[in-house]
Amino acid sequence: MIKIFHRTDKESGLKELDQIEVGSFIYVEKPTEADLSLLSLKYALDESILRDARDPYEVPRLEVEDGVIYMFNRFPVMLGQRVITTPILVVYHDDFLMVVSLDPIPFIGKLTSDPHFYTTQKTEVLIRLLTEINRGYNSFLINISRQVRNISTNIEEISNKDIAQFVYFESVINDFLSALVPANNVLTKLLSGRFFKLYENDQDLIEDLSLAENQLVDLCRSTLKTIVNIRNAYSTIMTNNLNRVLKMLAALTVVLTIPTIIGSFFGMNVTVPLANNPQAFWIILSSSVVLSLLALVVFFKNKWL
């Protein structure tokens, strides 16, 4: 799907065009091979770079070919019940700004419906796109952090389901980090001013974006550290509880061994003391109980239980 939008600051509304005019904004969603070939041929774009936009594992980077700037980024989306990042390519041409995406971009509708969206202001549109991408990361990260805190309120009651959720969160955050770190490097290159002219206000906005991405990276690492600490604490608690159970079972084994040994001696088919005593059973039973209780007292006194 290819859509072409155009609006100047003197026009009252956004227009959707059939052909590109200078200052147009082009949105390409789920491009086919034919779409990419057409765009490459019609607007003298590098087809091999355009094809990279269909690679789901493409990493953020910046390339310049024949005066055209190709900026790859990734943005987070919900795919079923999972959060993933998907590639987005922004083509900064002298005559237009083009966005190529493998998946639908949720904030495109928000931008095009904004009464202050002017396609001729390419740098501003680019900055707004990057801002919306950062907001998407921030929203998902805040939600993950909130869920991690909720799960960690009672570490001793963490279930296997919670542990599996932590593993999923780690996978998502690592995916975010693999996108945010190189994306911030791209912003650093843009700030150099070597690729297109930056006015003071634009430069300030890009610096703010870079700072925001650094904060997102810090939040990712902080959340990862929290998850690891919770899992380590849970593992330590479980190990300690297991050791206590094993210690208790070992002590009970020793205590119960005493009446077992006494019963074994008096159960032999030989002449034994008290064999003719009518109170023999009660004497043996009482002795076993007393000795077992003494063993328990020794264990408690030495804090073995």
pLDDT in tens, 216-262: 999 999 999 988 888 888 888 888 888 888 888 888 888 888 888 88
Distance CA 78, CA 95 (A): 33
Domain assignment of residue 265, given as a range: 250-301
Residue 274 pLDDT level (bands cut at 50, 70, 90): confident
Q: How remote is the C-alpha of 136 from its chain's centroid?
A: 13
- If one counts every other C-beta atom within 10 angstroms of the C-beta of residue 66, the result is 7
Answer with the one of 114, 142, 159 that is the final residue of a domain. Answer: 114
CA 236 from chain centre, in angstroms, equals 24
Q: In what order do the strands lie in the sheet with 68-79?
A: 15-17, 2-6, 24-29, 96-101, 82-92, 68-79, 61-65
Count of structural domains within the chain: 2
In a domain, 49, yes or no: yes
Q: For the whole model, what pTM was predicted? A: 0.77
Give 80's contacts (C-beta < 8 A, 6+ positions apart): none
The chain-wide mean pLDDT, for the chain, equals 84
Which residues neighbour 119 within 8 Å (Cβ) at sequence distance 6 or greater? 5, 6, 7, 8, 14, 23, 24, 25, 97, 125
Position 14 in a domain:
yes
From CA 54, how far away is CA 34, in angstroms rounded? 13
Which pLDDT band holds residue 305 (cuts at 50, 70, 90)? low
Of the residues 87, 114, 141, the one at which a domain ends:
114
**Of the candidates 289, 253, 217, which has an alpha carbon nearest to the alpha carbon of residue 60?**
217
173 lies in some domain: no
Identify the residue whose tokens are 């922004």.
Answer: 90
Residue 190 falls within a domain, yes or no?
no
Dist. CA 50–CA 90, nearest whole Å: 10
pLDDT tens-digit map of 242-255: 888 888 888 888 88
CB hemisphere CA count around 145 (13 angstroms) = 14
pLDDT in tens, 148-202: 888 877 777 777 788 888 888 999 999 999 999 998 888 888 877 677 777 778 7
Instruction: Give the mean model confidence (pLDDT) for residues 284-295.
Output: 84
- Write down the pLDDT at residue 218: 92
Task: Judge whether 264 lies within some domain.
Answer: yes
Q: What is the pLDDT of residue 41?
A: 87
Cα(57)–Cα(43) distance, integer angstroms: 26
Burial label, 220 (beta-carbon count in 10 A; 0-12, 13-18, 19+): buried
Domain boundary among 84, 114, 144: 114
| Per-residue pLDDT reduced to its tens digit, 84-139 | 889 999 998 888 899 998 888 888 888 888 888 888 888 888 888 989 899 999 99
Closest CA to 210 of 133, 121, 108: 133
Strand positions, DSSP E, the chain: 2-6, 15-17, 24-29, 61-65, 68-79, 82-92, 96-101
What is the number of residues in the chain?
305
Distance CA 264, CA 38 (A): 94
Collapsed DSSP state (helix, strand, coil) of residue 87: strand
Pick the more confident residue, 266 or 28: 28
Domain membership flag for residue 87: yes
Is 163 part of a structural domain of the chain?
A: no
Query: Are residues 62 and 74 in contact, defined by beta-carbon separation less than 8 angstroms?
Result: no
Residue 51 is part of a domain; what is its CATH number?
A: 3.30.460.20
Whether residue 222 is contained in a domain is answered as no
The pLDDT value given to residue 193: 67
